């Protein structure tokens, strides 16, 4: 009887503590502020997408529905060239960044804590904290020295620059996935005489695959959308789709830019939605 009463008292105390727990959603004005933030973030996207279907030349006066500007962008050979170049750079850079991020994540999560581990974590995520213009200028100076010494001015510099700042974006989902994995599975594999390579190939790698895919896709999106570092590092004739769009905006704004931006937005949304489902944890 005493045990029953004690359990009942503890249960009621836990319920009271749960009810008193702070929840930001209960704060006055939370919903209003959240709605304002979402409007500020996403409201400008709707006019851009809407006027990409404008039949006229104006980006602000509706003159009827038409696929004219999408057809124009699709038929533009220069747009095709810069799009292909953007995809090549993003694919190569995200692949390199993901491989390095996997190695870094394994080295910082699947080991015993060691001196300097926090410093390594900070150094890996440095591109997230340093202004992008600073990273761009540093890469510009560094690659300029190599170009003078070698005379090579190919696309490899742009790929290397994108890979450098994409590493932390690939690293964070992979590290999060590894930290959420049960280490006893790898220990059990070792107890069953699996070598470290076998344990990694059969246990660790399959379990961390969603994090790897999410990290690679995030790095791909970041590389595909980059303007600042690309503008500083690229050589003549190496425009990507974002830098091409920036150059067009300096000359004249047409609904063709709206169409390209809308298509790029759609691709980004699809990739980010996929990342969300890959990284979300099931109950």
Would 247 be classed as within a structural domain?
yes
Would 223 be classed as within a structural domain?
yes
Range of the domain at 218: 77-279
Of residues 94 and 124, the one with the higher pLDDT is: 94
* pLDDT classification of 283: cutoffs 50, 70, 90: very low
Specify the pLDDT at position 7.
Answer: 58
Q: What is the mean pLDDT of residues 231-247?
A: 87
Specify the pLDDT at position 9.
Answer: 55
Integer Cα distance of 173 and 186 in angstroms: 20
Integer Cα distance of 48 and 53 in angstroms: 9
Q: DSSP class of residue 116? A: T
Would 46 be classed as within a structural domain?
no
Specify the pLDDT at position 138.
Answer: 92
**2-28, pLDDT tens digit by residue?**
455 455 655 665 566 555 566 667 777
Would 55 be classed as within a structural domain?
no
Number of domains in the chain: 1
Of residues 96 and 18, the one with the higher pLDDT is: 96
CATH number at residue 249: 1.10.3720.10
How many CB atoms lie under 10 A from the CB of residue 120?
A: 13
Would 268 be classed as within a structural domain?
yes
Would you say residue 43 has pLDDT above 80?
yes
Specify the pLDDT at position 271.
Answer: 79
Would 44 be classed as within a structural domain?
no
Would 5 be classed as within a structural domain?
no
| Mean of all residue pLDDT scores within the chain | 83
Would you say residue 209 has pLDDT above 60?
yes
Q: Are 47 and 261 in contact (CB under 8 A)?
A: no
């Amino acid at each position: 009887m005493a045990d029953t009463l004690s359990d009942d008292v503890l249960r009621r105390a836990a319920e009271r503590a749960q009810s008193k727990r702070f929840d930001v959603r209960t704060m006055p004005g939370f919903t209003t502020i959240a709605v304002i933030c979402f409007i500020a973030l996403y409201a400008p996207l709707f006019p851009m997408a809407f006027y990409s279907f404008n039949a006229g030349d104006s980006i602000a006066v509706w003159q009827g529905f038409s696929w004219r500007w999408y057809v124009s962008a699709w038929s533009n050979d220069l747009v095709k060239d810069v799009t292909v170049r953007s995809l090549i750079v993003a694919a190569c850079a995200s692949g390199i960044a993901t491989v390095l991020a996997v190695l870094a994540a394994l080295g910082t999560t699947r080991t015993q804590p060691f001196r300097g581990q926090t410093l390594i974590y900070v150094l890996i995520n440095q591109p997230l904290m340093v202004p992008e213009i600073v990273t761009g200028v540093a890469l510009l100076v560094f690659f300029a020295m190599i170009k003078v010494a070698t005379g090579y001015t190919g696309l490899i510099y742009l790929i290397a620059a994108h890979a450098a700042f994409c590493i932390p974006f690939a690293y964070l989902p992979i590290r999060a996935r590894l930290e959420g994995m049960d280490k006893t599975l790898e220990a059990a594999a070792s107890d069953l005489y699996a070598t470290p390579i076998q344990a990694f190939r059969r246990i660790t790698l399959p379990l961390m695959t969603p994090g790897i895919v999410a990290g690679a896709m995030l790095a791909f999106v970041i590389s595909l959308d980059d303007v600042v570092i690309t503008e500083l590092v690229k050589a003549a004739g190496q425009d990507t789709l974002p830098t091409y769009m920036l150059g067009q905006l300096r000359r004249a704004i047409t609904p063709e830019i709206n169409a390209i931006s809308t298509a790029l937005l759609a691709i980004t949304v699809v990739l980010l939605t996929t990342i969300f489902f890959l990284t979300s944890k099931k109950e």
